[in-house]
Amino acid sequence: MPYFDAASAAPLHPVARQALLAALDDGWADPSRLYREGRKARMLLDAAREAAAEAVGCRADELTFTPSGTRAVHTGMAGALAGRRRTGRHLIVSAVEHSSVLHSAEVFEAEGGEVTQVPVRRTGAVDVESYAAALRADTALACLQSANHEVGTVQPVTAVAEACRAAGVPLLVDAAQSLGWGRVEGDWSLLTASAHKWGGPSGVGLLVVRKGVRFAVQGASDERESGRSAGFENLPAIVAAAASLRAVRAEAGQEAVRLRELTARIRARVPELVPDVEVVGDADRRLPGVVTFSCLYVDGETLLHELDREGFAVSSGSSCTSSTLTPSHVLKAMGVLSEGNVRVSLPTGAAEGDVARFLEVLPGVVAGVREKLGAPVPVAAVHEDVLVVDALGKRCPIPVIELAKVIGTVPVGGRVRVLSDDEAARLDIPAWCEMRGQEYEGEEKAERGTAYLVRRIS
């Protein structure tokens, strides 16, 4: 089965498997003990730290192993914010950060801190000038991902780091998606990553805190990992994580070229093969193996299930998935279409033939889902020269489908008022208007739900 969800978790690298099995035999003892087995375990831990630090581009004593990338983010943000408490209680994040960053920001805000979310362009990248303008004298910490986890857009970390350095503000970079491809450039202060994103085992994260950064560990701690990650180290997994990071880096240059060619093919062919599709994310500044697109008039959860039936494992940032009934915060911040969203993230070694078969299968799957959806005949009435579409109680993409079916019945310059109580409509109707060349006039409160106003332009 072709696995196209490497951005969620990459398959275990063969080197990681070998290192893990070897470390299970040699790395089971407590590395803090002075007897032979303890010394052997300490040597393995030190070697893994040196290898990981070399890959990151930091000193070994700046790197801490944590139980996960999420824990690395939470520990890093909490420690940096506490360490600079005297400076102020202001935090900056981008609007498209991973949920681990945003959840930490919510906790900080609930405790009395102030959080500024920097918006992004339609490509998903922050504007450097806007980010720099958000910096203040009381800013304690700034956060920016190296690359986006849903659409693959690479962020301008180097330029933002320069602005932060000039303002005397530490920058924490979430490098979970990009570290397997190369070092994060720029003068950043803290960095986090997760081993399962590059083909290492799950349960290992990295937290790097540069020398000179004020940092105060929060919560209970012990003598392990410089006091920044309490508890017995999962040494076999750590060894496997470091070994696999070195291995994927050795392959990264050649593999990146190959995966970029495959994703470029998907980006070009999908709009040709499937009508009413929006490919999202930056076309050039992007991760090698990630491509994301959204299909109009398609239920995202159904689309993913049908692709699974065809043997393809993909993921989605759509509003219509089993995990959430609200639009992806990333797609929402970008202002792009959320319905029928598909993220293809190719793992190292992805076969060209599998990509070709995916492009063969996709048009029929989308057409089948659209047919199965069986959009109901819209309930429409003319009221004060405005065509009213009642889509209350119907989940997206039904409100958009009903809008599309009636827009041609109003004269050019006429208006359609779509009533919907699905949060996803707030994102999908404006995105549909942009795709279709119609004018979105905004929203207003209705007796039930929200009314979205659209003017026909063509």
Q: Give CA separation, 112 vs 79, 82, 90, 108, 142, in Å.
A: 16, 13, 10, 7, 17
Please tell me the distance from the alpha carbon of residue 378 to that of residue 357, in angstroms, as a whole number: 36
Q: Helix (H, G, I), strand (E, B), or coil: what is residue 119?
A: coil
Please tell me the distance from the alpha carbon of residue 181 to that of residue 201, in angstroms, as a whole number: 17
Among candidates 165, 133, 141, 120, which has minimal Cα distance to 73? 141
Please tell me the distance from the alpha carbon of residue 174 to that of residue 156, in angstroms, as a whole number: 13
Do the beta carbons of residue 320 and residue 396 sit within 8 Å? yes
* H or E element in which residue 145 lies: strand 139-145
As annotated, the active-site residues are: 320
β-sheet bridge partners, residue 390: 379, 419
Please tell me the distance from the alpha carbon of residue 101 to that of residue 152, in angstroms, as a whole number: 17
Please tell me the distance from the alpha carbon of residue 372 to that of residue 370, in angstroms, as a whole number: 6
Strand stretches in 188-275, DSSP E: 190-194, 205-209
> What is the pairing mode between strands 386-390 and 450-455?
unpaired
Q: Report residue 265 as tokens.
A: 């093919």
Indicate the length of the chain as a whole number.
458
Q: Give CA separation, 129 vs 39, 135, 137, 162, 224, in Å.
A: 51, 10, 17, 11, 41
Question: Could you report how far apart the first and last alpha carbons of the chain are, in Å?
Answer: 44
Do the beta carbons of residue 148 and residue 330 sit within 8 Å? yes
Among candidates 400, 396, 392, which has minimal Cα distance to 448? 392
C-alpha 378, offset from chain centre: 35
* H or E element in which residue 99 lies: helix 99-110
